[in-house]
Amino acid sequence: MYQLDWSSIPGALPFLWQGMKISLEITLVAIAAGIFWGTILALMRLSPVRALSLLATGYVSLFRSIPLVMVLLWFFLVVPTLLRDVLGLSHATDLRLASAMVGFALFEAAYYSEIMRAGIQSVSRGQAQAALALGMRPLQAMWLVVLPQAFRNMLPLLLTQAIILFQDTSLVYVSALADFFGAAYKVGDRDGRLVEMLLFAGAVYFVICSAASFAVRRFQRRLAA
Amino acid sequence: MGPLDFHVFLQPVPTGETTYLGWLLQGLRTTVLLSACAWAVALVLGSLLGVFRTVPSRALRAIAGAYVEVFRNVPLLVQLFIWYFVVPEIVPGGERFKQIDPWLQQFLASMFCLGLFTAARVCEQVRAGIESLARGQRNAALALGLTLPQTYRHVLLPMAGRIIVPPLTSETLNVFKNSAVCSTIGLLELTAQGRQLVDYTARAYESFLAVTVLYLLLNAAVLLIMRKVEARTRVPGYLGSGR
Amino acid sequence: MISIRDVHKSYGTVEVLSGCSTEVKKGEVIVVCGPSGSGKSTLIKCVNGLEPIQSGEIVVDGISVAARRTNLPKLRARVGMVFQHFDLFPHLKVIDNLTLAQRKVLGRREEEARARAFSLLDRVGLREHAHKHPGELSGGQQQRVAIARSLALDPICMLFDEPTSALDPEMINEVLDVMVALARDGMTMIVVTHEMGFARRVAHRIVFMDRGKIVEDAPTADFFAAPKTDRARQFLSKILQH
């Protein structure tokens, strides 16, 4: 019978914290960039210009049809070469973190754009018309009147998506980048205590994510009340 | 990066028994088999848990609620590693598992991981479907003298099942996409075969392009099948649960 | 046949039924009326145990509804119930709506169940719709199917929970006609409804409820001629203004 031994965890905590910082960094950058780019995509999809809406539709359905792992592999392959060519960086520069951020941001944007599109459609047409009647230009009406309301309506969904995104950052494992999960795996592998480290990592993710979803649910109830 | 050259797929692999294209197709077959098996596990377990979440018994509701909470709040990759590396170590009988064919070990771990993970999501859809029927359907069935199990079997589940076909379509697509995560434990499904191709041929763009296109085709095929299912399960005159 | 004795029921701290008592004899038709939220629907849902009660007793044909040993499905099969929103099973054809409980609850064979179903569809005038789904019928037609669905189990009494209040006005009469015919055939019925014309025509007694209490319980003629309480008088005058 296997004897559990947790002794390698305390010493590894600083290294794990470094990893957690990378996970959180990727998450935050991807949320910010993803919501920004996703909102633009949503506006393009709803725009009367056919070319724009087709382009956005194509982008969203492409990214939603491919596994995230595959998207990440693409970005680890393509982005470094591209950045080196453009910025003239040396081959020694480690671009895995940047690639991960770009990959997650572009991938998540496809999901955020669907949420924002539903949010924009949830705001009644009367709101936009009222803004236009006050003399606003269409983009002003969108930016000042419709988007703030759409964002508020969709906030719980955007936050839930952020929790999923945080969990998904563990997939940077495929590039051997030491995020929280990667760090835990490396420590477990080095000390021959993979079982304990994996269980520990699972528990940490569980505590963070269930606390966050609990907070989102409470927040959602407050919004509804 | 040079011009794309797809002739590489027709070259034989080092062991000679097939071409690189053959490897890709083997990967595709594993992806389809794995996803289908995992989906079956998810559908059966998820429906059962979804029913649990709506029955009067407090204990059953709590069990299903805890299940969903755990499986939704741990990343799929971590779950997969726990199934593959941890469970055989700490569960009695794990030694026997480690002696079976490595491919089968990877496949079984992947199948249960993906199936149990997806079951939590199916559970929530089934619950939402049953709840959308309101109390009316349940009361009407009970008032006719049907027992609670009969009410679920003949009234609530058939209708909830039809209502949740559209959301289940996206869960089906998710199973296929999530199966790519299983490449991390060495299961040679589509993504893993793609990476192996890069290692052997150094043709990264061609390999990834081919894999991506295969995923897109798979996606389209699943959508097509689910549209058929949707059309067949549509109830004449029923406009959703409006009240 | 149905006796309701000092029934109390509450949701949390809100008491919805407080000390309701009444008797229904075989062949009697009782109309229960009162303002919305007075507990009428809750009361009849207690009669077949769809809503549990906290204290008091309800006895149907000698069987206590709330008793632990009572086989509720068996009892419910003998007490028909028709709902405000029809609640036909949308995924089943009309004919299958009528045969499901006959087969699964009474254990009737398929042919027997279908024969009974068709004779009842004849009775409510919907034989030609037997192979449609409920969603393809009008509200009035759906409610007539729902009545037939209950009758298919040969119940000893029928409960109606506002059977016409979700219907468009032009469909109300087709449903009431079926109910009147049923009453004339001697069916024991408890009907929660605002249709006072129906009450006058077929009810033997009127039970008037307000805020969880049975305020009046009188023969139909007496109730309409001289309601004893102010609340009942107010209620009757409001109904007229509808």
Per-residue pLDDT tens digits for B6-60: 777 788 888 878 888 888 999 999 999 999 999 999 999 999 999 999 998 999 9
Task: Name the neighbours of A, counting chains with at least 3 Cβ pairs within 8 A.
Answer: B
* B chain contacts of residue A174, beta-carbon cutoff 8 Å: 183-184
The structure tokens 């741990």 sit at B74
Helix (H, G, I), strand (E, B) or coil at C212: coil
Place of tokens 């407050």: A222
Domain assignment of residue A143, yes or no: yes
pLDDT of amino acid B19: 85
Given a contact cutoff of 8 angstroms between Cβ atoms, the answer to whether A183 and A15 are in contact is: yes
Interface residues of B toward C, Cβ cutoff 8 Å, are 136-137, 139-147, 150, 154-155, 158-159, 162, 235-239, 243
Task: Give the architecture (CATH level 2) of B6-233.
Answer: Orthogonal Bundle (1.10)
Provide the whole-model pTM: 0.84
**Confidence tier at A35 by pLDDT (50, 70, 90):** very high
Residue type at position C202: V
Q: Does A62 map to a domain?
A: yes
Asked whether the beta carbons of residue A74 and residue B180 sit closer than 8 angstroms, the reply is no
**pLDDT tens string C34-93:** 888 889 999 999 998 888 899 999 999 999 998 888 888 889 999 999 999 988 998 899
Number of domains in chain A: 1
Given a contact cutoff of 8 angstroms between Cβ atoms, the answer to whether C105 and B146 are in contact is yes
ipTM of the complex: 0.91
With beta carbons under 8 A apart, name residues in chain B contacting C151.
none
Beta strand C79-82 pairing with C205-210: unpaired
Q: Do C133 and B145 touch (CB under 8 A)?
A: no
Q: Which amino acid is at A180?
A: F
Alpha-helix residue ranges (DSSP H) falling in chain C? 40-47, 72-78, 94-104, 110-123, 139-151, 169-184, 196-202, 220-225, 230-241
The domain ranges of chain B are 6-233
Dump pLDDT digits (tens) for A145-156: 889 899 888 999
By CB neighbour count within 10 A (0-12 exposed, 13-18 middle, 19+ buried), where does A177 fall?
buried
- What whole-number distance in Å separates Cα of residue A128 and Cα of residue B97? 62
One-letter identity of residue C81: M
Is A1 within a domain? no
Range of the domain at A67: 8-224
Task: pLDDT band for B243, please (50, 70, 90 cuts).
Answer: very low
CATH number for the domain spanning A120: value is 1.10.3720.10
Of A62, A195, A210, Cβ closest to residue B86: A195
Of the residues C48, C87, C147, the best mutation for testing chain B's interface (the one with the most B CB atoms within 10 Å of its CB) is: C87
Contact C190/B at CB under 8 A? no
Q: Which of A1, A14, A6, A3 is nearest to A200 (CA)?
A: A6
Residue A105: inside a domain: yes
Residues ≥6 apart with Cβ < 8 Å to B182: B34, B80, B106, B110, B113, B114, B189
What strands lie across the sheet with C14-24, from one edge to the other?
Answer: C14-24, C2-11, C55-60, C63-64
* Residues facing residue C79 across a β-bridge: C157
Q: What is the average pLDDT score of chain B? A: 90
* Tokens linked to C193: 């409804």
**Residue A183 within any structural domain of the chain:** yes
